[in-house]
Amino acid sequence: MAGASAARAGLRVLALDHHGNDSVDGYEPEGFLHVWERPRDVSFALDELARERPLGPVGAAGFSLGAHTAVALAGTRLDTDVLWAVLSGDVPLPDIPEFPGVLEAYREKYPDDLSVRRAIDGAGADLSDARVRAVFQVAPGVGGFVTPGPGGSPGARGHPLGRCGHGQPVRGRHQALRGAHPHSERPLRRCPRPPRRLPRAGARRPGGPPPRRRGGGRLLRAAPARPR
Angle between helices 65-73 and 37-52 (to 10 degrees): 60
- The C-alpha angle with vertex 183 and arms to 67 and 17, in degrees rounded to 5, equals 40
Which pLDDT band, with edges at 50, 70 and 90, does 4 fall under? confident
Q: Has residue 223 been placed in a domain?
A: no
Residues linked to residue 146 through DSSP beta bridges, in sequence order: 78
Angle between helices 102-109 and 80-87 (to 10 degrees): 90
SS3 annotation, 31-46: HHHCCCHHHHHHHHHH
Q: Has residue 215 been placed in a domain?
A: no
Q: Has residue 205 been placed in a domain?
A: no
Question: Tell me: the pLDDT tens digits for 203-225?
Answer: 555 555 555 544 444 444 444 55
Instruction: Give dist(CA 83, CA 87) in Å, integer.
Output: 6
Instruction: Give dist(CA 22, CA 35) in Å, integer.
Output: 14
Q: Has residue 63 been placed in a domain?
A: yes
Instruction: Give dist(CA 176, CA 2) in Å, integer.
Output: 39
Residue (of 122, 39, 34) closest to 73 by Cα position: 39
Q: Has residue 7 been placed in a domain?
A: no
Q: Are 14 and 87 within 8 A, CB to CB? A: no
Q: Has residue 80 been placed in a domain?
A: yes
* Region 149-162 average pLDDT: 53
Q: Has residue 114 been placed in a domain?
A: yes
Question: Tell me: the pLDDT tens digits for 68-127?
Answer: 999 999 999 999 999 999 998 888 888 888 999 999 999 999 999 999 999 999 999 999
Q: Has residue 27 been placed in a domain?
A: yes
Total domain count for the chain? 1
Parent domain of 88: 16-177
* Residue 105 main-chain phi, psi, to 5 deg: -65, -35
Question: Tell me: the pLDDT tens digits for 18-71?
Answer: 999 988 888 999 999 999 999 999 999 999 999 999 998 899 999 999 999 999
